[in-house]
Amino acid sequence: MTTPPAPGLRPLLGMVRLARGRVDGLQQFGDTPQAFLASLAPLLAFPIVGALLLLVSEGPAQAIATLLVAIVLQLSPPVVSHALARLWGREAQWLRYATAFNWCQWALPLAAMALLILLQLALRLGLPEDAADATFILGLASYGLWLNWLLARHGLNLSGGRAAALVTLTNIATVLLALGPRLLVTALG
């Protein structure tokens, strides 16, 4: 019989398993409001620190604008996914899904580093730089979309099509909410 992981390591284990496509990793995440808030805290802490640094170097207007965009980028996915989970009768599963979603955002920088290492090797073997850039962007975007789809599909027990719709709508809403005001100001100004 294997010993269960320490509670503090469970999100890390769940993230690693899900990042590799192992859906049993979902069971490592809590389904309580506290677990969700704990998963959200580090995602908000980094933008707050960044805004404080901008406050010193760029001034309050830039710091506040950057912080607000970062907060919208972090809070839009849970809000949109919760609305869709409710619409589709999956609200009871949403907290675990949202908690796993937040923790799994840390898999993306790790995937980016791994992809960069592979592409550096490919560049040394003669891959053109433009091809490496395109491969990086497409590879990381594809992985991120796949991971989000996997989480939606299994975390909310959705069909493949509904999971794809959730990922698509969440990403579109997030971009519109984060960039919409700036685009509107630019268009009107």
The parent domain of residue 182 ranges over 7-188
Contact 100, 81 (CB under 8 A): no
- Cα atoms in the 13 Å half-sphere on the side-chain side of 137: 5
Confidence of residue 183 (pLDDT cuts 50, 70, 90): confident
Q: Average pLDDT for residues 59-77, to the nearest whole number?
A: 88
Q: Is residue 13 part of a domain?
A: yes
On whether residue 135 sits in a domain, the answer given is yes
Q: Is residue 49 part of a domain?
A: yes
Task: Answer whether residue 147 shows pLDDT above 90.
Answer: yes
Q: What is the pLDDT of residue 86?
A: 98
DSSP string covering 19-30: HTT-GGGGGGS-
- pLDDT category of residue 6 using cuts at 50, 70 and 90: confident
Give residue-wise pLDDT tens across range 158-182.
999 999 999 999 999 999 998 877 7
Asked whether residue 2 is assigned to any structural domain, the reply reads: no
Is 114 inside a domain boundary?
Answer: yes
Tell me how crowded residue 124 is: count the other CB atoms within 10 A of its CB.
8
Mean pLDDT of 55-71: 86
Q: Tell me how many domains the chain contains.
A: 1
Question: What's the sign of the alpha-carbon dihedral 148, 73, 170, 187?
Answer: negative
**1 in a structural domain:** no
The confidence band for 1, taking pLDDT boundaries of 50, 70 and 90, is low
CB 27 within 8 A of CB 14: yes
Average pLDDT across the chain, whole number = 93
64 falls within a domain: yes
Q: Hey, what amino acid is at 164? A: A
State the pTM of this model: 0.89
Instruction: Please give the Cα distance from 29 to 14 (Å, whole number).
Output: 7
- The pLDDT assigned to 2 comes to 66
